[in-house]
Amino acid sequence: MTAVPIAPAARSLLDHAVHARFAFIVLVVLLALPPLAQALDGGFYIGLASRILIFALAATSLNLILGFGGMVSFGHAAFMGVGGYAVGILMQHGFASAWLAWPLAFALGGACACAIGAICLRTRGVYFIMITLAFAQMLYYLIVSLRDYGGEDGLSLPARPRLAGLDLANDTVFYYVVLVVCAAGFVAVWRLLNARFGQVLQALRENETRMAAIGFPVYRHKLIAFALAGALAGLAGALAASHSGIVSPASMHWSQSGALMVMVIVGGVGHLYGGLLGAVVLMLLEELAQGYTIHWQFGVGAVLLLVVLAAPRGLTGVFARRRA
């Protein structure tokens, strides 16, 4: 029996339907998680789920430029650190409103990404990778030098930020706030990728020279995408700092950028839900392995190696291939 080809318009509608169905299922599961965890006396998993969602948002912001824009940034965690320190420094000076801290973290992350990207995007290939790493390490050592804000030891938050009368000290309330913010971030990325800007960005990934030849402003599109990714990472950093109650230079180290890249690779580079799936797999693996051995990195590395060998396009790519 010969396969019947699907027209591009019909394929696009099918992809949207699959994405909508998957998003609905995931949302229902996430909404039901806190009551289920409390019924099973597993309140710890609510905090773990909050942390996974936060890093899923950060990984998705990296996937925006790595998977859809072809920009391999090895310093993305620096923008998370900028967002985290924005919250920590504000709270140290008495500004505890999340309405102020979180949007400021978003703006500062985007501003730093715009300034750094304006220089980095003038390079390509391995030079781009190395210069993003260099800028991230510069920010790391800058924060280490700020003794008034904890230096190498980091900065402790006196409490979680306040948000419109909500008790964010309650893990369940904080979880639902994180869920709303992260869901809004995912929807924003999805709308962006399906807009004209997102289509141009993906075309630049495929053939930058051709896009420049037909008149598209390559540098401007890539810089805007880089700034938006940094802004989302800054917001994720603000949520991470609010969740853990501490922000440290370690959150800006190159190893943290590597962890975000691993999440994207495992989940699926260039797939909308790649960052989410990668964050779930990596962080659950770490949590399980730490309970059995102090050498948990070896076990996690072995499992990730198997995933990469068995699924070169990531776990999301496996599902997409089976659906095709």
Per-residue pLDDT tens digits of the chain, which is 324 residues long: 444 444 444 444 445 555 677 778 888 888 888 888 888 877 788 999 999 999 999 999 999 999 999 999 999 999 999 999 999 999 988 888 899 999 999 999 999 999 999 999 999 889 999 999 999 999 999 999 988 888 888 888 888 898 887 888 888 999 999 999 999 999 999 999 999 999 999 999 988 889 989 889 999 999 999 999 999 999 999 999 999 989 999 889 888 998 999 999 888 888 888 899 999 988 888 888 777 777 777 877 787 788 778 877 778 776 666 555
pTM: 0.90
Burial tier of 158 (Cβ tally within 10 Å: 0-12, 13-18, 19+): exposed
Asked, for residue 149, whether it belongs to a domain, the answer is yes
247 membership: H or E segment, kind and range? strand 246-247
Looking at residue 144, its amino acid is V
| Number of domains into which the chain is organized | 1
Asked, for residue 7, whether it belongs to a domain, the answer is no
Asked, for residue 292, whether it belongs to a domain, the answer is no
Asked, for residue 31, whether it belongs to a domain, the answer is no
Asked, for residue 26, whether it belongs to a domain, the answer is no
Asked, for residue 137, whether it belongs to a domain, the answer is yes
Residue-number span of the structural domain to which 67 is assigned = 42-252
CA distances from 255 to 77, 173, 216, 250, 281 (A): 9, 31, 35, 8, 18
Asked, for residue 79, whether it belongs to a domain, the answer is yes
Asked, for residue 242, whether it belongs to a domain, the answer is yes
Angle at 263 between CA 257 and CA 268, to 5 degrees: 130
